[in-house]
Amino acid sequence: MERENFGSKIGAILAAAGSAVGLGNIWRFPIETGRNGGAAFILVYIGCIILLGMPIMMSEFLIGRHTQSNTARAYQKLAPGTPWKWVGRLGVFTGFFILSYYAVVAGWTVEYALLALGNQFQGMTTKEEYERVFTDFSSDPVWPIVWLIVFILLTHFVIVRGVARGIERWSKVLMPLLFIIVAVLVVCSVSMPGAGSGVEFLLRPDFSKVTGKVVLNAMGQAFYSLSLGMGCLCTYASYFDRKTNLAKTTLQVCIIDTLIALMAGFIIFPAAAAANYGLAPQDIGPNLIFITLPNVFQHAFGAVPALAYVFSAMFYLLLIVAALTSTISMHEVVTSYMSEEFNLKRSRSALIETTLSIVLGIFCALSFGKLADWRLLDMTIFDIFDWTASNICLPVGGMFIALFTGWYLDRQLFRDEITNGGTVRAPYFKVLIFVLRYITPLLILAIILSNFGLF
Ligand code: PFF
């Protein structure tokens, strides 16, 4: 079967950045920053991106680009007859899981964009009112499912158009749109009277706040945010041109992802400070975006209702765009796997993945209402999916990817791939190998053990 490639360098970068930039940047990053002490957390996070994120991203890129196959076959090609293929299969499985619950939250962003566009938040003043809107909606047996299906179908629509005409073309439209919205929101937010203490929170590090747990949270966030550990970037790299400079692309994607996360922080904390909202720890949980923020926006721009309206509407539109480019990348991991391994037409395998994700997603969506009592270890279905995927599957996948490229992969093949056959300089090569062999796997092991309370 003829394999498609991304048609341009910029298209490839934007697609990979689109996978990385998502709810993780705009929803999860500010939560983690708020809970873990602000500026000091950000510095640790940047350290994690450099030590952990960049080496694994380069590894995924080189495995995918070298083998030009889906993530499961990639390992089979590089390590035939060995159990390494399970690293790829774990990635496909993780992609399927994450898409199912991620699309539930993505669906909520559609509802909230519509609420914001319909000016439904105007006149609401107390936290309880916002809480009621969220609880009524998320526990409803119909609407969260409708939006979940709409979101997965939107993703499906892009995927079936293929790599260049679907993923690449839409990334080229959506990513600049996302950047413009983020930039406008940052400028509005930091220029509001009273925003200063929010800015300070993000810029003045208090190192006494940095504990072992903060470092571990920063590592987990780096993984999630960069889409590492499940073969997503490996799959995208299989569509890269042979001339793509992998180190440069890694740097570009990491910079874009970190920049957008930081900018999300500069939207949320200054707005909260300006609203004199005094974000309490319980406001900076998963409900930050759906309960706290609409309230913050109304307070911050209370004097000019039109501004509150535009700001809220743009913010939820931003979330939709960011989530969509990420769900596309998760869907692609599974679609390319099924179509190449089982010799199915792309449209057929996309349809299977879409159907399976909707079915699983319905259970996740209902776990906020009708199925709220279905619990294991006090976790709902949604919590179990989120916990298993981000705290177990992604770090385990990432650790094995580092071990694979650091210890198993032929050194010459590795060098050839990152230097594009000797045409690009790679003075960092020895350091990279050292980091992949020792530093990255050990750090990740620390995250996993900490998740089990063993560290
Ligand atoms: N990086 C995405 C985000 O920050 O929202 C989430 C994600 C996408 C995780 C793709 C894993 C993945 F493979």
pLDDT in tens, the chain (455 residues): 567 889 888 999 999 999 999 999 998 899 888 888 889 999 999 999 999 999 999 999 999 999 999 999 999 999 999 999 999 999 999 999 999 999 999 999 999 999 999 999 888 878 789 889 999 999 999 999 999 999 999 999 999 998 988 899 989 999 999 889 999 889 988 888 888 888 998 998 888 888 887 888 888 889 899 999 999 999 999 999 999 999 999 999 999 999 999 999 999 888 888 877 666 655 666 677 888 788 888 877 777 888 889 889 999 999 999 999 999 999 999 999 999 999 999 999 999 999 999 999 999 999 999 988 898 888 889 988 988 887 789 989 999 999 999 999 999 999 999 999 989 998 999 999 999 999 999 988 987 787 677 66
Pocket flag, ligand 1, residue 326 (CB < 6 Å): yes
Q: Are 71 and 236 in contact (CB under 8 A)?
A: no
CA of 187 to the centre of ligand 1 (A): 26
pLDDT recorded at residue 193: 84
**Hey, whose CA ends up nearest to atom 13 of ligand 1?**
227
CA gyration radius for the chain? 21
Q: What is the pLDDT of residue 285?
A: 66
How many A from CA of 72 to the centre of ligand 1?
19
Three-state secondary structure call for residue 376:
strand
pLDDT at position 280, please? 62
Lookup result for tokens 């700001």: 311
Tokens of 210: 């940095």
Instruction: Name the phi and psi angles at 351, rounded to 5.
Output: -65, -40
CA 433 to chain CA centroid, nearest Å: 26
Give the closest residue (by CA) to ligand 1 atom 8: 227
CA-closest residue to ligand 1 atom 7: 227
* 15 in contact with ligand 1, CB cutoff 6 A: no
The CA-based diameter of the chain, rounded to the nearest angstrom, is: 67
Q: Whose CA is nearest to atom 12 of ligand 1?
A: 227
Tokens 């721009």 sit at which residue?
301
How many Å apart are CA 386 and CA 392, to the nearest integer?
10
d(CA 356, CA 379): 22
pLDDT of residue 454: 66
Pocket test for ligand 1, best of 329, 333, 334, 394 (most atoms within 8 A of CB): 329
Q: Indicate whether residue 109 lines ligand 1 (CB < 6 A).
A: no
Angle subtended at Cα 226 by Cα 260 and Cα 161, rounded to the nearest 5 degrees = 90
* Residues facing residue 376 across a β-bridge: 379
Report the alpha-carbon distance of residue 14 to residue 4 in Å, rounded: 17
Is the beta carbon of 160 within 6 A of some atom in ligand 1? Answer: no
Give me the pLDDT at residue 211, please. 84
Which residue type is seen at 179? Answer: F
CA-based nearest residue to 124, from 293, 287, 289 = 293
The alpha carbon of 415 and the centre of ligand 1 are apart by a number of angstroms equal to: 28
Distance 24 CA to ligand 1 centre (A): 7
DSSP bridge partners of 379: 376
Residues in Cβ contact with 303 at an 8 Å cutoff, skipping those fewer than 6 apart = none
Nearest to 441 by CA among 399, 404, 393: 399
Question: What residue type is assigned to position 430 of the chain?
Answer: K
